[in-house]
Chain A
Amino acid sequence: MIEIKNLHKSYKMGSNSLHVLKGINFSVEEGELVAIMGSSGSGKSTLLNILGMLDELDEGSYTLDGVPIKNLNETKAANYRNKFLGFVFQSFNLINYKNAMENVALPLYYQKVGRKERQEKALKYLDQVGLKEWATHLPSELSGGQKQRVAIARAMAAEPKVLLADEPTGALDSKTSYEVMDLIQKINDQGNTILIVTHEPDIANMCKRIVHLKDGIIIEDKKIEQIRAAQYVQ
């Protein structure tokens, strides 16, 4: 599904250049649930941004579902993001003047899905995350956990090939974190490929594979026995 070879990325900071990713080789199969771990500055967010086509790589190659991702202009990148990827952010990033259903329907709008179908689909995904009754509520009327579930529904609505989550539980207490992880595991159970950036070991342990980043290189990449979040959730 994801194939990365010899990935390099550096940022220019004035006259210095900061080498963030120093040759990453990494691949993800379909249906995997991968945690990318590392301390801050390890380059995990940069990696996720490159995977998410929000940032460009300097060197190396990136293939997503057999499609080489290179030399994208903004329009094309937007199109690929819309078709291939679903994003979940730490700070939810819901559009605050749109209600839950409209937020979920947004990626479908960019796919030029008709209005009615859009709403049906949005409701379906809201139902999956257990928030159907909250469809007409604005983000400001939802709790943090609910917001993140809406964001997950939004990421899923476009039926992406890969779900990218950047610290999805970073702004949540542990109880809601587990609820969100439970949801992510269930989505993964349906065969969806998911990558999660986190620095919390307990969250990482709920994935099926942990990739450890340090100073821009992968120091550890292991498959683990998944801990189900459902046992922490009533």
Chain B
Amino acid sequence: MFSKDRWEEILEVLSSNVFRTLATSFGVGWGVFILIILLAAGKGMENGIRADFGDIATNTMFMWSQNTTIPYKGLPKGRTFSFKLEDVQAIRDNVPNLRFISPRNQLGGFGGGNNVIRGLKTGAFNVYGDYPQIIRQEPMTITSGRFINQNDIEDKRKVAVIGEGVKNELYDKEEDILGTYLKVQGVNFMVVGTYKKKSNDGDGEEGQKELFVPFTAFSQAFNKGNDVGWMAITAEDGNSISNLKEKIVNVVKEKRKIHPDDKRAVGYFDLYEQFNRVESLFGALRWVAYFVGVLVLLSGIIGVSNIMLIVIKERTKEIGIRRALGEAPWSIKKQILMEAIFLTIISGMVGIIFGASFIYGVNVVLDSVGPVDMFVNPSVSLGIVISAFVILIFSGLLAGFIPAQSAIKMRPIEALRTE
């Protein structure tokens, strides 16, 4: 297969009519080029949408309390209730494979009034009572100082980590922030750190206008007792939160004396399900890209096959001579198959190179004009290149098969007689 003579032979044949060879390979190269571009464009969209999710732990659900809608155990419908700290423990005890359960209480919120005062400046911000692990579920970058830690929780320290947005509104530029105090609804908290969240467009601004304080200190300062307003629950990798959420909700219903059929008492949002929906869209996009790309490639392959047939026709006499001199039929077949494969692979490689250069160019342009909505870093992975390569080898075989068959179908005596 790798004998030098055979390769010489292939090169001789292909270089004997350069223009025809080029024209033929263009079809295949074009097909691969389109395939690569389509896949890269799909990848670019995928990257863009993924970037919108940021680093948020996607295997996460959020859960909050609403009003009951069914009377239960002597309690009326329309009752408001609140999760309790013991519910967190109950979930932990009853539902396996959970990585984080972060209870949270909250002040302020969308459209809320001014609730934070520093000297003469005031602002309306979200104030969260949180546990340290929330930073793993809702990633943010600490730009100075530190985030809240376990000691803060245990000692109920009145400390706060504030967003860059809060800092800009309440502080002058180049003012020392760490160690200063903010008054949140009449209670003083010491600022120990600042953070910045990766801005995902839309609520990017809002995300910087938050204060994080220890959950325990928050409960004490604002008289929340054992109440929990909201929970962020992340499942361990390999376990989908979507499968666990029903169990979690049931545990809470049981603890809070809510009718098992009451679907509206506990509100939740399953991020993983949303994420999966988008994931399956990516999958569909990839299939469309492959489908269209392979079809375009197919027309190139038919071109190669066609030209090979003509070449065989032209070389009928030569093939007759070779067979008279004792070349075995399979050897001729192999020769023609290899010519077809060689032609497809080389032209496919050229297509891959052009495709990759094109993508590189697009990336350069994207970098220079700044971020574009929903489209980030279009690229093809090595895996795609390898699968394109496999498709090419297969196509080459396909393209060469019929011509090779027709080349040996003719008996040598007839082949020799053709002029």
Contacts and interface: CB of A to CB of B under 8 A. Distances in A.
B324 A54 contact: yes
A78 B327 contact: yes
A161 interface: no
A75 B325 contact: no
A97 B13 CA distance: 9
Contacts of B328: 74-75, 78-79, 110
A94 B320 CA distance: 11
Nearest to A151: B321
A40 B325 CA distance: 25
A227 interface: no
B325 A107 contact: yes
Nearest to A50: B413
B416 A55 contact: no
A110 B327 contact: yes
Interface residues of A, number: 27
A97 B416 contact: no
A110 B329 contact: no
Interface residues of B, number: 24
A81 B330 contact: no
B326 A81 contact: yes
A115 B5 CA distance: 8
B325 A82 contact: yes
Given A93-B321, A115-B5, A158 B326 contact: yes
Nearest to A160: B326
Interface string B304-321: 000000000000011011
Nearest to B12: A97
Q: Which of B12, B13, B321, B322 has the most CB of A within 10 A?
A: B321
Contacts of A125: none
Given A74-B408, A93-B317, A87 B413 contact: no
A107 B330 contact: no
A39 to B, nearest CB: 19
A54 B12 CA distance: 27
Contact of B325 (A55, A80, A154): A154
Interface in B277-292: none
Contacts of B4: 115
Nearest to B332: A78
Nearest to A107: B325
Contact of A93 (B16, B413, B416): B416
B165 interface: no
Interface in B1-45: 4-5, 12-13, 16
A106 B335 CA distance: 15
Contacts of B209: none
B140 to A, nearest CB: 69
Interface in A103-158: 106-107, 109-111, 115, 154, 158
Contacts of A75: 328-330
Contact of B324 (A52, A98, A109): A52
Given A54-B412, A115-B5, A78 B323 contact: yes
A170 to B, nearest CB: 14
Nearest to A112: B3
A95 B317 CA distance: 9
Interface in A69-90: 74-75, 78-83, 87, 89
A111 B324 CA distance: 13
Contacts of B322: 95, 106
A227 B329 CA distance: 41
A81 B321 CA distance: 11
B123 to A, nearest CB: 85
B410 to A, nearest CB: 11
A176 interface: no
Contacts of A93: 317, 320-321, 324, 416
A63 interface: no
A61 interface: no
Contacts of B5: 109, 115
A55 B330 CA distance: 19
Interface in A42-81: 49, 52, 54-55, 74-75, 78-81
Contacts of B317: 93
B325 A110 contact: yes
16 contacts: A49-B413, A52-B324, A74-B408, A75-B330, A81-B323, A81-B324, A87-B324, A93-B320, A93-B324, A94-B321, A106-B322, A107-B325, A110-B325, A110-B327, A110-B328, A111-B326
Given A107-B325, A107-B326, A110-B326, 17 more contacts: A54-B413, A74-B323, A75-B329, A75-B330, A78-B323, A78-B327, A78-B328, A79-B326, A82-B327, A87-B324, A87-B325, A93-B317, A93-B321, A95-B318, A98-B12, A110-B327, A111-B326
Q: 6 closest Cβ contacts across the A-B interface?
A: A82-B326, A54-B413, A110-B326, A81-B326, A93-B321, A78-B328
Interface of B: 4-5, 12-13, 16, 317-318, 320-331, 408, 411-413, 416
